[in-house]
Amino acid sequence: MTTPAGAPRRAPRRVHVIGIGAGSPGHVTGQAVAAMREVDVFLVADKGSAKDELVAVRRGICEQFLADGTYQLVTVTDPHRGPDAERDSAAYKAGVDAWHRARADRYAEVVDGLPEGAVVGFLVWGDPAFYDSTIRIVDAIGERTPLAVSVVPGISAIQVLAAEHRIVLNAVGQPVHITTGRRLVDEWHPDLGAVVVMLDGALACRALLDRAPDLVIHWGAYLGLPQQVLRSGRLADVIDELVALRGALRAEHGWVMDTYVLTLPADAPG
């Protein structure tokens, strides 16, 4: 293949974006394993020591499903991310955009340095479709160097939360709304149905109690991991315990990831 100018044009590099589930090797699907077996080099973001366990889980999944010596796992230091919690929405979005660009630059550099024909893999926590920037970053890398991308779905923390609590998220024929802790208080309305909240570092749901004292919460931390913790109940009854527990877990493990769903009982007033 040649470019119009006569210079050789490289075939697009194959990239697999693979959902690996929320932490348990049991979440890794057959489709994910098949894609992993095609990968030569896995690129894993190194987010600093507190999140070493997230790299270790990915490493463990590779060791469990792949033969030694058939792949490489390369960690790429994550660019510094600004103080999101202190930013308003516009500054938050600009900060995230800049961070994505910086990440894409870094990955593009690594990808360009790989041998021609090497297949690249990204092991995405949960499912790549929920609050994960990998597909966007891979698209941005693709603007810098030609890529042929495939995406494998994974089991999201949302599904694990529902399964571990043995609940259906939606009431019969009703919607499910997925949002972040940052947006919850502005967005919440009974018509949203079940509201799943991710990326909430401060259990923002407490602020809803005045408006909706009957809310019920199903909460889970480290879903699918050995240290998984579940709690549920009337939000008003359990919120103090949850805030204290979340703080204690974070102190114990150095990091915490939790997801919850808020519902109103069918017989709640209004």
Positions touching ligand SAM (CB under 6 A) are 22-23, 125-127, 130-132, 156-157, 198-199, 220-225, 257-259
Site of tokens 């049991």: 26
- At its nearest, how many Å lie between ligand SAM and the CB of residue 224? 5
Angle at 259 between CA 174 and CA 93, to 5 degrees: 95
Nearer to ligand SAM, 15 or 45 (CB): 45
Contact, 119 vs 66, CB < 8 A? no
Q: Of 13 and 42, which CB lies nearer to ligand SAM in the complex structure?
A: 42
In the complex with ligand SAM, which residue's Cβ is closer, 40 or 78? 78
Nearer to ligand SAM, 130 or 264 (CB): 130
Query: CB of 204: closest distance to ligand SAM in angstroms?
Result: 12
Residues 6+ apart with CB under 8 A from 251: none
> Could you count the other beta carbons within 10 Å of the beta carbon of residue 156?
26
Least Å from the CB of residue 228 to ligand SAM: 7
Q: Give the residue with the Cβ less far from ligand SAM, 54 or 108.
A: 54
Residue nearest to ligand SAM (CB): 126
Minimum CB separation of residue 67 from ligand SAM in Å reads: 27
Distinct helix (H) and strand (E) counts, the chain: 7, 10
Nearer to ligand SAM, 145 or 232 (CB): 232
Q: Are 145 and 116 in contact (CB under 8 A)?
A: no
Is the Cβ of residue 203 or residue 216 nearer to ligand SAM in the bound state?
Answer: 203
Give the chain's end-to-end CA distance (angstroms, integer).
Answer: 67
Q: Cβ 260 to ligand SAM, closest distance in Å?
A: 8
Residue 178 β-bridge partners: 196
Min CB(127)–ligand SAM separation in Å: 4
Distance set, CA 213 to CA 29, 115, 191 (Å): 40, 59, 16
Give me 250's structure tokens: 């974070």
Q: How far is the CB of 222 from ligand SAM (least distance, A)?
A: 5
Listed residue (37, 85, 93) closest to 65, CA to CA: 37
Cα separations in angstroms, 29 against 43, 96, 162, 176: 20, 30, 18, 25
